[in-house]
Structure 1
Amino acid sequence: MFPLEDRWRFFWLIVPLLWCCQRGQSELKVLVRLEDGQITEESLQADSERDCITLEFQKADGTFVTYLADFKQGVKIFRVLILGELERGQNQFQALCFITQLQNNEIIPSESMAKLRQKNPHTIRQAEETKRMETLQMDVSVNFTKALQLSSHVHNICAEAKEAIYTRQDDVRTWLERGIDGSMFEVLPLYSTLPAVPPCKLCPWDWKPCICSYRLGLEWIPCSLKYCKSRESSGRSTSYKCGIRSCQKSYSFHFYVTQKQLCLWDEET
């Protein structure tokens, strides 16, 4: 059995140097306090040419989180790499990918993000606004080999999660209207399915299917631009960009797994 520090070392060896937005990118590093009180460093990269923003950070338990906003395709991707519980028969790590539509005003444009600079790198940042937690029923699985239609970044981010890529039926309906190939999607069982599939935290058997829950928080994201007003010599009032507003946003993902063994963290919630 590997000590935890050795497993972290192994984990970092297999985590790719993601930064999907490779060309013309700028990077911002921000210290933030997580829900458990631990301090971590968020890395935010913007690529105005490919019109995307990537946010990454590592939690104290070794979990590695990636959030990507793809403005060209109008989607956002969450990837979570979770250290496995070797003593319970899990692999070294478990990967999850969640893909859904990118809404307006979730995060500032990539061009604006590329212009941000860190003035006080040792300051622990706290979001100015805490947004309502969003509950997402991820009731559709996505075929990895066909997912490039959704975003050119899927194959880079979700390579470790080929069998665990999820989205929602609401998103699928929108994508089908845009001409996306529907054969990449498969509807999964949920609570309402008969026979009923229980939540994993209530399922007593490790090898039975259940509905898994995973809660993910982004503690500091530049969610909107601030505008200030000035008055010209003619007396006319004008507005200009003068900063950003930061937000904290949490998500609760619910999705089907073929066995509780793939959702052991749910026992702790």
Structure 2
Amino acid sequence: MFGSCFPPVSARINTFLWALIFLTTFGLCSELKVRVRLADGQITEEVLEADSEKDSITLEFKQEDGTLITFVADFKQHVKIFRALILGELERGQSQYQALCFISHLNHNEFIPSESMARLRQKNPQSIRTAEERRGLDQLTMNVAVNLSQAWQLSSHIHNMCSEAREAIYTRERDVKHWLERGVEGSVFEILPQSVDVVPVLLSCRSTRDVWQPCSCSFSLRLEWYPCLLKYCRNRDTTGKGSPYKCGIKSCSKGYQFTYYVPHKQLCLWDEET
């Protein structure tokens, strides 16, 4: 549960019950480490960073299989970036790790503002957090590749985030249309081969036996805990008039499934039948 830095006296009585509180900060950047319970019951540590000057937030954690997930919400450009660093299977000819980046439009009110995130502080760092609301799964078809050298037109964060992915930076056609309408150059994007013409029958990688055949790969992740909404309380004065103040946040969990073209299954060995 979260609270405001300077709530009314009546609210301060319950301060000792709050797990997390807002504090007034003079710095533009902040970091918060939160222990989170994953769906399989294991515990991981999320690192949340907020930069109110750049108007962005970053969330990073390690999945149970060792995959490092980094998420950035760029509020200035209304762009969200997901990066996955996946440990390779050396015995099957893969490199030490594989980098993927997925980029999409950031909708209004998906996350709390960076300024509010920068004021979050944790009173009991050892507590294990579980999201108050478990939101549905977003299934995203990422059928367009993004040119890293031109990606600054979408967000200044992409180059640093996705430089290791380079040939594996993806977005959706519907987001491309949105950005083109706002003046982004077409050279930023390249339509990926689909089932028509280039690949007569594009199977899912899960159904493909030959590791050197092209296929449709799926990668899933879940942001298990993040502040998704500000809560407001109302303080009444002696005349009965109420004035709202920030008194906490609501935490959410949300899953994402990305589907995209790969030139051969060797780049998607995690997506196999079990």
| Both proteins in one fold, TM over 0.5 | yes
Q: Residue 175 of structure 1 aligns to a residue in which SS?
A: helix
TM superposition shift of 1:196: 2.3
TM-score, length of structure 1 as denominator length? 0.89
Q: Which residue of 2 aligns with 1:249?
A: 254
Deviations 1:177-226 (A, max 9, x none): 11001111111134566612110000111001000000110000100001
Q: What is the CA–CA distance in structure 1 between the aligned matches of 2:273 and 2:229, rounded to whole Å?
A: 34
Deviations 1:128-147 (A, max 9, x none): 00101000000000001000
Aligned residue runs from structure 1 range 1-269, under 5 A: 24-190=28-194, 195-268=200-273
Whichever residue aligns with residue 57 of structure 2, its letter is I
Q: What is the CA–CA distance in structure 1 between the aligned matches of 2:85 and 2:273, rounded to whole Å?
A: 18
Structure 1 residues 58 and 242 mapped into 2: Cα distance closer, same or farther (>3 Å)? same
Q: What is the CA–CA distance in structure 2 between the aligned matches of 1:106 and 1:204, rounded to whole Å?
A: 39
Q: Residue 146 of structure 1 aligns to a residue in which SS?
A: helix
Q: Residue 126 of structure 2 aligns to a residue in which SS?
A: coil
TM superposition shift of 1:264: 0.4
Deviations 1:42-72 (A, max 9, x none): 0000000000000001123221000000000
Q: Percent identity?
A: 62
Flag the structure with more relative contact order, 1 or 2, with Cα contacts below 8 A and sequence separation at least 6.
Answer: 2
Q: Residue 161 of structure 1 aligns to a residue in which SS?
A: coil
Q: Residue 145 of structure 2 aligns to a residue in which SS?
A: strand
Whichever residue aligns with residue 253 of structure 1, its letter is F
Between Structure 1 and Structure 2, the one with more helix by share is 1
TM-score, length of structure 2 as denominator length? 0.87
Q: What is the CA–CA distance in structure 2 between the aligned matches of 1:216 and 1:100, rounded to whole Å?
A: 15
Whether contact under 8 Å (1:190, 1:255) holds in the other structure is no
Q: What is the CA–CA distance in structure 2 between the aligned matches of 1:80 and 1:231, rounded to whole Å?
A: 48
TM superposition shift of 1:105: 1.6
Q: What is the CA–CA distance in structure 2 between the aligned matches of 1:216 and 1:146, rounded to whole Å?
A: 26
Q: Residue 208 of structure 1 aligns to a residue in which SS?
A: coil
Unaligned residue ranges in structure 1 (runs of 5+): 1-22
- Root-mean-square deviation over aligned CA pairs: 1.3
Structure 1 residues 237 and 78 mapped into 2: Cα distance closer, same or farther (>3 Å)? same
Q: Residue 265 of structure 1 aligns to a residue in which SS?
A: coil
Q: Residue 160 of structure 1 aligns to a residue in which SS?
A: coil
Whether contact under 8 Å (1:191, 1:211) holds in the other structure is no
Unaligned residue ranges in structure 2 (runs of 5+): 1-26
Whether contact under 8 Å (1:97, 1:164) holds in the other structure is yes
Q: Residue 172 of structure 1 aligns to a residue in which SS?
A: helix
Whichever residue aligns with residue 154 of structure 1, its letter is I
Q: What is the CA–CA distance in structure 2 between the aligned matches of 1:117 and 1:268, rounded to whole Å?
A: 43
Q: What is the CA–CA distance in structure 2 between the aligned matches of 1:142 and 1:230, rounded to whole Å?
A: 49
Q: What is the CA–CA distance in structure 2 between the aligned matches of 1:72 and 1:97, rounded to whole Å?
A: 19
Q: What is the CA–CA distance in structure 1 between the aligned matches of 2:66 and 2:241, rounded to whole Å?
A: 54
